[in-house]
Amino acid sequence: MAVMRLRFTGSGSDKYYIDLAREISIAQRRMARQKQTFTVLGGYWKDQDGSTAHFNTAPLTWVNKRSVNRGFRIWRKMIARTLADSDGAQSGKYNDFKVYLNRYQTSSNQLSAVDAAGNILGDAEGEWDYSTLTTEDPETGVAPDQFELMIVGSTRTNGAGDHERIGLTNSWFESRPEIQTANPALPAAASADPLANLFDSGDVVDDRLDIINSEGDQAPYDENTAWGYSTVVSETANLQRVSSAQSSASNPVVPVHGFQALCGLVQVDVSNASTGWELVLDIECNGVGF
């Protein structure tokens, strides 16, 4: 097991993002593919302001994993078809499927690992492009739609036919057949059926049929949404709280407990910080594919 200790610094309260695959690639000078589940073994949070750092990730559920895999298959099909139609063209050596965590992650709020002096790892950061898809079927009168991808949250658009960032879990739900809400659905006249009431000297059978009809015929979860795709829109909505750390003036260095991150994407929600802070994470370099 190869473990990489990475250091991040920042100042003040805000919501920051870390792409572990990107930082491992830079630190090791070797491409780490993003479509994996990465493990953070632990670390520490250092701040004298008495601040709190919450660590949030995409929920590790089969729905979110399947949604990412669907996006990956569509992206790969787009690349393959385009290269097949363009004789001699080749994709870049480091071309890889990369997605955002949510609609709020941008280059301006994404943290980069730094060395002991606070400098980025190397004289300059390399290229880390998030995947862009282009539709072959644009709406009439508009240019071909180009968009990026994110795991959680509802799709972000700039108007009809102009998608900016597609929510993969959102898209997965919208591509599935609707689930029958009551299964099985017992006819309302079942309790009055003459044969069903042949040996019913009282109302016991009717009562039992009503119970059978009403209990256990619907799923124990919302059939139209999931953890990762709900109608609530906020920067921490649809995310899973996986660890927290709170420092104080008397105890400025506190541990960060380990967690796993789908696609290595982590939101660091910092509050009550007015000065500089430091975050160190021990990361298992080899993720687990899904």
Mean predicted confidence (pLDDT) in 115-140: 86
The amino acid present at 37, given as its one-letter code, is: T
Mean predicted confidence (pLDDT) in 174-202: 64
The pLDDT assigned to 255 comes to 97
Q: Does 79 score more than 80 pLDDT?
A: yes
CB atoms within 10 A of CB 168: 27
The pLDDT assigned to 237 comes to 93
Task: Grade residue 86 by pLDDT with cuts at 50, 70 and 90.
Answer: confident
Q: Which of 87, 90, 185, 70 is nearest to 133 (CA)?
A: 70
Q: Does 115 score more than 90 pLDDT?
A: yes
The pLDDT assigned to 181 comes to 61
| Between 186 and 250, the higher pLDDT residue | 250
Q: Which of 285, 288, 262, 289 is nearest to 28 (CA)?
A: 285
Mean predicted confidence (pLDDT) in 223-230: 83
The whole-model pTM stands at 0.85
Mean predicted confidence (pLDDT) in 172-178: 81
Whole-angstrom Cα distance, residue 180 to residue 130? Answer: 37
Whole-angstrom Cα distance, residue 96 to residue 227? Answer: 26
Q: Alpha-carbon torsion 145, 149, 151, 154, what sign?
A: negative
Task: Grade residue 215 by pLDDT with cuts at 50, 70 and 90.
Answer: confident
* pLDDT averaged over every residue in the chain: 88
Which segment of 135-144, 171-180, 209-218 scores lowest on mean pLDDT?
135-144
Task: Grade residue 276 by pLDDT with cuts at 50, 70 and 90.
Answer: very high
Task: Grade residue 184 by pLDDT with cuts at 50, 70 and 90.
Answer: low
Q: Alpha-carbon torsion 42, 47, 50, 54, what sign?
A: negative
Q: Does 5 score more than 70 pLDDT?
A: yes
Task: Grade residue 124 by pLDDT with cuts at 50, 70 and 90.
Answer: confident
Output the CA torsion 262→267→268→274 (10° steps).
Answer: 170
The pLDDT assigned to 91 comes to 83
The pLDDT assigned to 151 comes to 97
Mean predicted confidence (pLDDT) in 216-245: 87
Whole-angstrom Cα distance, residue 64 to residue 58? Answer: 8
Output the CA torsion 166→53→19→224 (10° steps).
Answer: -30
The pLDDT assigned to 232 comes to 81
Mean predicted confidence (pLDDT) in 107-111: 95
Q: Between β-strands 36-46 and 163-167, what pairing exists: parallel, antiparallel or unpaired?
A: unpaired
Q: In which residue are the tokens 């990361």 written?
A: 283
Which segment of 27-36, 119-128, 243-252 scores lowest on mean pLDDT?
119-128
Q: Say if CB 148 and CB 158 are below 8 A apart.
A: no
